[in-house]
Structure 1
Amino acid sequence: MPKKKKNSQSFGSIAVAVVLAISGFVVTTCNRKITGDKSTPATSKSSNKKNNQSSTAAAARLLAEDFETGSQNNYNSSEVALSSGNWYFKDALLGSLVEDHKTGRQALRIRDNGEVGMSFDIAVKGTVTATLKYALYGDDQRGSWELWASVNKGQRYFRVGDAVDATSSSLKTATFTVVATGNIRFEIRKTDAGKGRINFDAFRVTAGGKVSPVTPAAGKPVGGDDDDMLLGNPSGANASLVMANNYLMDKGYYKLSYNREKGTPNWVAWHISRRDLGDMARANDFRPDADLPENWYQASQSSYIGSGFDRGHNCPSGDRTATRDANEATFLMTNMIPQAPNHNQHLWKNLEDYTRSLVMDGNEVYVIMGSYGSGGVGSKGLAKTIDHRNINVPDHIWKVIVVLPEGNNDLQRISKSTRIIAVNTPNKNDVNTKWTAYLTTIDEIEQATHYKLLDKVPAAVRQELVKKVDTGG
């Protein structure tokens, strides 16, 4: 789910193109169709009877799940073995009551903001069509849901088509079309916070279908206002394998330059507005980044354990609390550096909290954070590397924050009077907890890193901004 942008348009039929350079996936979503259902009996998955369909039609069936097998009689989160494979359930169960609207013996039932998704992939090549029957449970009045998909083993999901409103206890069929090359998995999400429960049945994925023309995702202007790298690319990072130590990655909610040799990002850039700040709880699902090239070393959730250093976020979890996907994206290990615990939990937290307070006071900010050098001092003393020398421990951590009043045409609004907060700090456990003690200039950070920050800002303006030292007030 991409980060929401200014002047977002209402969602109608949406086509989303997701290009993943590493894996070669190209994904496009298109129109959703809703049709009434006359309770046609579901096809049995276990039947050994010969099928009268043509061999071509039979080969077109990629997945069939009728939720007839498996057992899940409560709403506890769990992994459930169904006929098609293992699925994870959250606030969901398999219901067989009279109130459960189904085509067979039982159906999927989801409550609250629950979700049910595949824990496995299916191989696809080209256009595929997904259909799913749905109805309100019992006499419940209303609910809404969405179909989501992932083409990188559940690392990151995108919404397929539009949200669906459930307003009837009669089964209807929703149809979605996706273009993908490689592997894909799906997830069903109930998206309203109401008390209405929704039944789902007869999930089918087949090859083929008609895709509408590709149009830009609503509310996400390419390279425009709120783009995470609107102000520039400090190191000239590129998404090319030959740039292994300056490898550009777009994680949807922030962008970064990754360093294969160090096992950490060189820098991470992101934008924060009030639309990014909500009530989503901290996900805490630290995990490897499947978007790294296959033969590269990947830090895991346990790589930092026992090292004396925190898994320090570059783009903070607290800056992405509007949606679950946004928050979960911040826990990818490509967003982490080994950070001294007191530095992370006090000094850096204070700066992050202050930054969000600026946003809530009517500003928007562009942030870029990075690190350099080798040799930090954690809770167990000095270390230059961790995780069997696979991850470098930086000796300095820096951040630059550009503060603007909420508005449009951000690049054009940056002037010599724009507030710039630049800090450069030692990665040590005995740091001063006040970030104001480490205020510096962009110029000083550039000399240490050999980067060129704010390179998209007009030269005359940039020349003044790189010399400014903030007052901290």
Structure 2
Amino acid sequence: MFRTLFARIAVAGALFAAGAAQAASCPVHYLDGRPPEIRNAKLATATRELCYGVFGVMHSGVTRTPLWSAEYLRADNLERAEGLDRDNAFHAESRLPPSQRAELSDYSRSGFDRGHLAPNGDMPDRRTQRESFSLANMVPQNGEHNRHIWAPIEGAVRKMAKKEGELYVITGPAFLGTSLRKVGNVLVPSHLYKVVYSPRQKAAAAWFIENRGDAPIHVIPVAELERIVGIELLPSLSRQDKERMLRLPKIKQRRNNRS
């Protein structure tokens, strides 16, 4: 299914060139100002970078989801975020053409959550909070996974950022296998990942988890994740750097989850 979907867009080369030209438009969100680099040509079709106040996404017009979100996560912004209540202002992204974007109707009665990549809990003010509720920052996510696996991971990253002072975080979906499904026009990811890089420790690691409620939590080197997803997520680091494992907080899983 995934192969067929990407084959439908005949202008892949031109669109990829346009996407690449925009790649450095919001460098503050990326380690050393360098955004991830797409190595799997199928993923490069109809991509568009969108910059927001404290995060950026690379959006795919084929999956109608982000391919990643990127955050330069600072302790001072997280302190400001703690006083905000959740807005829940989900909305379609007006900067994307209707033929390539998700709509609220795609998720309606789908059985999937609208899962944030850049979390609402990281947003330091009302403007950035509203930006985080753009559907360009969402993927269809199993509800149990979202609440009982992903939310604890997001909380652990915030706690870690407060301790470290700053982190670079890249969050994204993976579309693996031949039995992918869609909700409306939006492709459902098979897995989700979150990469964390600590400038203080000069090390990184990633969580990589299947998109189901009872999925085991895997912590893997960034180099391995890059091979799996076909994206060079931290291109300014050497392969040796990407093999060096940052110690990530242990996530306590709820037993006997049901997806």
TM-score of the aligned structures, taking structure 1 as reference length: 0.43
Q: Which of 235, 238, 246 is 1:455 aligned to?
A: 235
Amino acid at match of 1:309: F
**Aligned AA (1:307):** S
Residue 245 of structure 1 and its aligned partner are, at CA, apart by: 2.7
Deviation of 1:283 after TM superposition, in Å, equals 1.1
Larger strand share, 1 or 2: 1
In the alignment, the residues of structure 2 paired with residue 430 and residue 309 of structure 1 have an alpha-carbon distance, to the nearest angstrom, of 15
CA distance in 2, matches of 1:223, 1:301: 27
Distance 2:58 2:46 in 1: 8
Q: Distance in 2 between matches of 1:357 and 1:347?
A: 16
CA shift, 1:469, in A, is 3.3
More helix by share: 2
Contact 2:50 2:59 in 1 (8 A): yes
Task: Check whether the contact 1:319–1:356 (CA below 8 A) recurs between aligned residues.
Answer: yes
Contact 1:375 1:384 in 2 (8 A): no
Matched, 1:331 2:133: yes
In 2, distance between residues paired with 1:347 and 1:429? 8
Match of 1:392 among 171, 187, 190: 187
Distance 2:164 2:77 in 1: 13
Residues 374 and 392, structure 1, Cα contact 8 Å, conserved in 2: no
- Alpha-carbon deviations, 1:271-326, whole Å to 9, x = none? 11123222121110000000113x52432234212222110000000011x21001
1:404 counterpart (196, 199, 203): 199
Please point out which of 444, 447, 455 is paired with 2:224: 444
Q: For 2:188 and 2:127, locate their aligned partners in 1 and report how far apart those are by CA, in whole Å.
A: 28
Ranges in structure 1 where 5+ consecutive residues have no aligned partner = 1-20, 22-221, 238-242, 377-381, 406-416
Per-residue CA distance 1:308-350 (angstroms, 9 max, x = gap): 2110000000011x21001111000000001111211111111
Residue 147 of structure 2: SS of its match in structure 1? helix
Asked whether the 8 Å contact 1:375–1:385 carries over to 2, the reply is: no
Say if 1:311 and 1:336, in contact at 8 Å, map to a contact too: yes
Q: Is the 8 A contact 1:289 1:334 kept in 2?
A: yes
Aligned to 2:174: 372
Unaligned runs of 5+ in 2: 1-17, 19-24, 250-259
Name the residue aligned to 1:352. 154
Instruction: Describe the superposition over 1:156-209 as per-residue Cα deviations: whole angstroms up to 9, x where unpaired.
Output: xxxxxxxxxxxxxxxxxxxxxxxxxxxxxxxxxxxxxxxxxxxxxxxxxxxxxx
Corresponding residue to 1:229 among 21, 30, 44 = 30
Residue from 97, 121, 125 that aligns with 1:318? 121
- Distance in 1 between residues matched to 2:142 and 2:177, nearest whole Å: 11
What is the DSSP-based 3-state SS (H/G/I as helix, E as strand, rest coil) of the residue aligned with 1:269?
Answer: strand
CA distance in 1 between partners of 2:243 and 2:173 (Å): 20
Match of 1:305 in 2: 108
The equivalent of 1:177 in structure 2 is none
- Could you tell me how far apart the structure 1 residues matched to 2:112 and 2:52 are? 24
Corresponding residue SS for 2:31: coil
Which amino acid in the other structure matches residue 236 of structure 2? K
Q: How far is 1:374 from its partner?
A: 5.2
Paired with 1:401 and 1:455, the residues of 2 have a C-alpha distance of 14
The whole-number CA distance in structure 1 between the counterparts of 2:219 and 2:248 is 8
Alignment map for 1:62-101 (pairs within 5 Å): none
How many residues were matched structurally?
A: 218
Higher relative contact order (CA 8 A, sep 6+): 2
Structure 1 outlier segments of 4+, above 6 Å: none
Partner of 1:472: 248
What is the deviation of 1:254?
1.3
Aligned pairs for 1:92-131 within 5 A: none
Secondary structure of the equivalent of 2:199? strand
Q: Quick one: which amino acid aligns to residue 195 of structure 2?
A: V
* Deviation (angstroms), 1:422: 0.9
TM-score by length of structure 2 reads 0.76
SS at the partner of 1:303? helix
1:441 maps to a residue whose letter is P
Secondary structure at the aligned position of 1:342 is classed as helix
Q: Deviations over 1:435-457 (max 9, x none)?
A: xx410011111111221122124
Residues 439, 470 of structure 1: 8 Å contact kept: no
Deviation at 1:270, TM superposition (A): 1.0
The match for 2:15 is none
SS in 2 for 1:327: helix
Indicate if the aligned counterparts of 2:180 and 2:190 stay in contact, CA closer than 8 A: no
